[in-house]
Amino acid sequence: MSYLAHHKQFAPNVSTPKVRDDTNPPANAGFWQRLSNAVSNYRRRRAEREIARFIQGRGGHLTDELERDLMRHMTSSPNYWRLHL
């Protein structure tokens, strides 16, 4: 015979971790943590803007060819694409 426990039997013993929100760091975060969060958020937003500009410059429709070009664009040297970063 086998026995399969119901998930409700584990509920008192399991707690879900609180979800961290990196966009709004806790008030008690230290200076270096806030600085690190600000830099990573800046880089993420910059990459999203770069991708949006790239897609819009190629017609605005996501195709297989555009995805390949985008991967080449994002993983190559800025000098190859004549970007002034």
Within a domain: residue 45? yes
pLDDT value at residue 36? 92
Within a domain: residue 1? no
Within a domain: residue 10? no
Tokens of 43: 């880089």
Tokens of 85: 């970063």
Q: Is the pTM of this model over 0.75?
A: no
Query: What average pLDDT does range 35-58 have in this prediction?
Result: 90
Contacts of residue 41, Cβ cutoff 8 Å, sequence gap at least 6: 22, 23
Residue 9 above 60 pLDDT? yes
If you average pLDDT over each of 14-18, 40-44, 73-77, which comes out highest? 40-44
Within a domain: residue 78? yes
Within a domain: residue 37? yes
Number of domains in the chain: 1
Within a domain: residue 71? yes
Separation in Å, CA 41 to CA 23, 35, 62, 70, 77: 7, 10, 25, 21, 22
Residue 47 sits in which domain range? 30-85
Within a domain: residue 39? yes
pLDDT value at residue 3? 67
Within a domain: residue 5? no
pLDDT value at residue 39? 93
